Structure 1
């Protein structure tokens, strides 16, 4: 009889442990610093997904415990965030935002057996390294650059194109991929320059753009520098149209650039907020008075993919889940069905071109250009 009581007590303890077990997840991004607007998108997207999953019973009876790491857009701090997550026993990470941060952080995660999905880092080399635990829900700069170049070739082939980048892994990478595609088509830029990220005065760059009489300025970089560049171009009477990538896909870009931003072009996937799969989640964000733009829903989708892979694999082991992500897609998410190739890239490339426009209400925002 005593043996049965002990066995029952042991079973109760074991069951109790299962019931209270938690899946440790981290979200890493620039919560502070000049890229904080994007860090907020990653954080809000993951927090909403975790909240929705936990309120729905969790994953196979386990709840997600979330940690937030602030990398401030700095590679060294990103590595420190990765080490903190490793020390906390985190096994799944959504992040980081900047490609220059994701590169070193992903090395640490891979060595520790942590599965990472970046919703925003687009530099091709991130997944070309063949790290089995690394994925992304966004596209790549070679895909994005090809779309930007195709647009310029089709609409502005005979115009003078200047190329400016912010010298970052992302910015220079996007500029170089676009330049490579243009050159292959016989279109050569009249200026190729780098500016210093974090500076406020770009008058010297603007003077160079003015001196070559550029019609188009392709910019590889983020919204802060891009916005300042547009504003200072207009202040110096430069009417050249700026074209950028997903790094300027933020309302803060327009706020920094001012009214001269109207007519700016950019590449980004079709607006995920308009997808039927995202309707309920978008409404949940709107109820909180938050606009889930740019990478918010790509972050939410990363958590959804992890959840579904766990359920398909009947496991919360990161290595098993990674194998499932590689082999058992598609996974249904708020940004559409996602499958991952052997490198961890999504198998679809769906960049389109947007234009920043001023509406009848005076508000400036971006809208997809219909083909």
Structure 2
């Protein structure tokens, strides 16, 4: 008798908790592992956006609840996370970080009525498959590669260039896009190499680059390997500049590369932390001891566009929200007003080239590079 009452009470409590959860959004990224810095950006950005939106009344009368899960930048674990979101009743996903996870996970989400907004997957194919549920708040590799190639042809004309990638879909995808644009502009690399993701010893590669008298290394990959490559190039006497894309935009890069990072180049969008309209939100992140670099505000914006489109549609149904994201907008976000094209790509300002420097206070940081 008492056991039956206990079970019934437990069911009632579970039902009540679920009903009060209202709108369940999943956040997925590398919370652990070598890319954990980026996972933290996705998590912290989404958490603050949800707190702010809930404080303002939520979405169509519903409060948002987040479910955070760790894909560890591992495709198998990413699929497990996606299936877990389905089982838990998640309706929207902010994530993933890596293209090799975002793309297959999006297929699981599409089959189960879940809309995905990635703050960080830049591989073009993510939105090129004609799917109803794929959106991003970041740019694309075929956009940043054009900006990178233009900079390279202007500032490294006549120099020997090498292209190196980490063999991942995202890293190699960016390297190949940049290679294509450079080749089309008449610049041919003297070396094209792939290294294993997680590689720590680049001696053999650096030897090849030295023999080829390389002056610029274009890197398609993450900051962890890039930092080691930069430091080892310096230690082994290779006087070459490393340039990369969004994957190295982390304050962890100089902690790995040391002062050898000075001069390193990368592409990324205009820095939203410098926007006066974001002064308050940036200050609140920093008050929590978190620097909202790189994809933090892109994740914040991903939650904002979901909420904005849902409000515009008057519905929290993911497919209805997806139609509103395509048809309505721009939606107000920390990145500015975002409207989406028919593929799910945002209409945002283009990429900027940044250069790592040592500032007057001795800090290693980056600023827009001289044009």
TM-score (structure 2 length as normaliser): 0.94
User: 1:330–1:338: 8 Å Cα contact kept in structure 2?
Assistant: yes
Q: Which has the higher mean CA deviation after the structures are superposed, 116-125 or 201-210?
A: 201-210
* Separation of aligned partners in 2, 1:19 and 1:129: 35
Instruction: Classify 1:370/1:277 alpha carbon distance in 2 versus 1 (closer, same or farther; 3 Å).
Output: farther
Partner of 1:358: 358
* Separation of aligned partners in 1, 2:349 and 2:79: 29
Partner of 2:4: none
Partner of 1:288: 288
User: 2:219–2:226: 8 Å Cα contact kept in structure 1?
Assistant: yes
Q: Which has the higher mean CA deviation after the structures are superposed, 38-47 or 274-283?
A: 274-283
Q: Which runs of 5+ in 1 are unaligned?
A: 1-15
Pairs within 5 Å for 1:13-52: 20=20, 22-52=22-52
* Separation of aligned partners in 2, 1:305 and 1:280: 19
Partner of 2:10: none
User: 1:214–1:240: 8 Å Cα contact kept in structure 2?
Assistant: yes
CA-CA distance at 1:61 after TM superposition? 1.9
* Separation of aligned partners in 1, 2:18 and 2:216: 59
Pairs within 5 Å for 1:79-228: 79-228=79-228
Task: Please give the per-residue CA displacement for 1:48-87, whole angstroms capped at 9, x wherever unaligned.
Answer: 1111111222112211111001000011111110000000
Task: Please give the per-residue CA displacement for 1:324-361, whole angstroms capped at 9, x wherever unaligned.
Answer: 00110101100111111111011235101000000111
Instruction: Classify 1:236/1:370 alpha carbon distance in 2 versus 1 (closer, same or farther; 3 Å).
Output: closer
Partner of 2:263: 263
* Separation of aligned partners in 1, 2:46 and 2:128: 25
Partner of 2:237: 237
* Separation of aligned partners in 2, 1:302 and 1:95: 9
Q: Secondary structure at the match of 1:113?
A: coil
* Separation of aligned partners in 2, 1:18 and 1:45: 24
TM-score (structure 1 length as normaliser): 0.94
CA-CA distance at 1:312 after TM superposition? 0.6
Q: Secondary structure at the match of 1:333?
A: coil
Pairs within 5 Å for 1:243-258: 243-258=243-258
Partner of 1:311: 311
* Separation of aligned partners in 1, 2:199 and 2:217: 19
* Separation of aligned partners in 2, 1:339 and 1:18: 32
Q: Which has the higher mean CA deviation after the structures are superposed, 276-285 or 37-46?
A: 276-285
Partner of 1:298: 298
* Separation of aligned partners in 2, 1:61 and 1:130: 32
Partner of 1:342: 342
Q: Which has the higher mean CA deviation after the structures are superposed, 185-194 or 270-279?
A: 270-279
Instruction: Classify 1:237/1:86 alpha carbon distance in 2 versus 1 (closer, same or farther; 3 Å).
Output: same
Q: Secondary structure at the match of 1:337?
A: coil
User: 2:270–2:349: 8 Å Cα contact kept in structure 1?
Assistant: no
Runs of 4+ with deviation above 2 angstroms? 16-21
* Separation of aligned partners in 1, 2:332 and 2:58: 17
* Separation of aligned partners in 2, 1:338 and 1:76: 32
CA-CA distance at 1:21 after TM superposition? 5.8
Q: Secondary structure at the match of 1:152?
A: helix
CA-CA distance at 1:318 after TM superposition? 0.5
User: 1:275–1:336: 8 Å Cα contact kept in structure 2?
Assistant: no
User: 1:19–1:61: 8 Å Cα contact kept in structure 2?
Assistant: no
* Separation of aligned partners in 1, 2:308 and 2:74: 31
How many residue pairs were aligned?
A: 356
